[in-house]
Structures are given as structure tokens and as C-alpha cells.
A and B are shown apart, each in its own frame.
Chain A
Amino acid sequence: KAGVTQTPRYLIKTRGQQVTLSCSPISGHRSVSWYQQTPGQGLQFLFEYFSETQRNKGNFPGRFSGRQFSNSRSEMNVSTLELGDSALYLCASSLEGLAGVDEQYFGPGTRLTVT
């Protein structure tokens, strides 16, 4: 079974631009979560999508947004990029989380550099 895939793997953007990252979950998984990983702040939860709806949200500004499609694929968008947005963005997929939390499996991440 294929794992979680994320595209692109690397991205360089300029301050003020916007960026869209993509995540394809493991086949059969319907929940997709996004995390930001930086050396200073560690792994921080951005949001979770299930059945095309945002189910949980972390403490990030509105510049960070996401969506999920009917095939469970998800995208996250960051608008008006700031230097501090440079990070590894990780996507994690899990089954459903309806009968309790399910195991999460991570993708390789997208390394975003903002200059």
C-alpha cells in the first residue's frame, strides 16, 4: 500500500507571495492533518480535515488555510508569506477518528523556504 505523498518536496518563495501544498493520503484514509515543523517550535498542529470539512484547528493565523477534496486529497495554502513561515510542512493521514483517535501516518513533508 502506498504511503502518504506530498508535493512538491521543496519550494522557495518570496515574502508576500502565496503557496499551495498538496497531500495525498494513504488509500482508504479519510482524515488528513497538517503540521508545521521548525527547529524552534517543533511540530505544531495546523488543522485536520475529514469528509471535506475542517474538524480541528490549531492556533495559527488565518493566512493558513486548507481544504479537502472528495477523494480525501488535501491542500493547504499560505497567503502573504513571511520569513517565519519557512518550515517543513507535514501531512498525516489516518482512517477516520470517529470511534476514537486513529494512528496517524506522516508523509515526507514539503520544505518551504521564504526569502
Chain B
Amino acid sequence: GENVEQHPSTLSVQEGDSAVIKCTYSDSASNYFPWYKQELGKGPQLIIDIRSNVGEKKDQRIAVTLNKTAKHFSLHITETQPEDSAVYFCAASPDSLNTGNQFYFGTGTSLTVIP
């Protein structure tokens, strides 16, 4: 099955700096890659996703890049703010007709933004 590795496990940045979280996956059949943000006491919240026909996607301060050849994808947060502090998870899933939803998650990155 799919194996998703995520680094780093913890990350501290100064407010206003950028944060980068990296994930690798093993199954070449995976072609949908969402990122989730989980705050304390809450469920994961989808913040951005990318499909394999796109190399980069941006939404305001958040961007995701995908290198399908190398089987890795990254989350970039620019101009970080204290409210960005949370645990971030990457995930991978096959994306073809009738496979349904079966996501494989990374182990999470605890991001702390220092004011």
C-alpha cells in the first residue's frame, strides 16, 4: 500500500517568515494530494489540494508544489501569522474512476509561529 512520509515533525518560525513542509509518497498510482490543518480539539480542515496534472497551486499565502517524477510534494506558507500555528498533515490518494476515497496520511508537522 501507499506510504507517506512527512518532514519535519516540528517547525518553529518567526512571524512573517515562510514555512515549508515536505512529503514523499511511494505509490505511483497516487495523484491527489490534499493538505489539512488541525487545531487543538478540532478535526482536520482542508486548506489546499493538488492533482497530478498540475505542478503548483496557490491560494493567497498558501501554495503547494508537486513533483510526480520524484514522488514528493510540499506545502509553502508565506508571511506566517500566529493563527497559522497548528498541526499540518499531508495525504495521498489514488484518483481514478470508481476507486472512491482512501487517503493515506503523513505523520503531521506541528508548526509554531512565534510572534
Residues of A in contact with B (beta carbons under 8 Å apart): 4, 31, 33, 35, 42-45, 48, 50, 55-56, 58-59, 90, 92, 94, 97-109
Question: A42 vs B105: C-alpha distance in the bound complex, in angstroms?
Answer: 8
Let me know if A101 and B108 touch, CB within 8 A. no
B45 nearest in chain A by CB position:
A106
Let me know if B46 and A100 touch, CB within 8 A. no
Let me know if A94 and B101 touch, CB within 8 A. yes
Segment of B18-26, B58-66, B68-76, B92-100 engaged in the interface with chain A: B92-100
A106: chain B residues within 8 A (beta carbon): 36, 43-46
Shortest 7 CB-CB contacts between residues of A and residues of B: A106-B43, A43-B105, A55-B100, A97-B100, A56-B102, A101-B95, A101-B32
Tally A-B pairs: CB < 8 A.
73
Residue in A42, A100, A108 whose beta carbon sits within 8 Å of that of B97 in the complex? A100
A97: chain B residues within 8 A (beta carbon): 98-101
Let me know if B43 and A107 touch, CB within 8 A. yes
Residues of B in contact with A (beta carbons under 8 Å apart): 1, 32, 34, 36, 41-46, 49, 89, 91, 93-108
Closest CB in chain A relative to B85 CB, distance in Å: 18
Closest CB in chain B relative to A55 CB, distance in Å: 4
Closest CB in chain A relative to B64 CB, distance in Å: 14
Closest CB in chain B relative to A54 CB, distance in Å: 10
Let me know if A42 and B107 touch, CB within 8 A. yes
A33: chain B residues within 8 A (beta carbon): 101-103
Question: A51 vs B105: C-alpha distance in the bound complex, in angstroms?
Answer: 25
Question: A56 vs B65: C-alpha distance in the bound complex, in angstroms?
Answer: 28
Let me know if B101 and A102 touch, CB within 8 A. yes
B44: chain A residues within 8 A (beta carbon): 43, 90, 106
B91: chain A residues within 8 A (beta carbon): 43
Question: A92 vs B89: C-alpha distance in the bound complex, in angstroms?
Answer: 15
Let me know if A45 and B99 touch, CB within 8 A. no
Closest CB in chain B relative to A40 CB, distance in Å: 10
A108: chain B residues within 8 A (beta carbon): 41-43
Let me know if B100 and A48 touch, CB within 8 A. yes
Closest CB in chain A relative to B102 CB, distance in Å: 4
A47 nearest in chain B by CB position:
B102
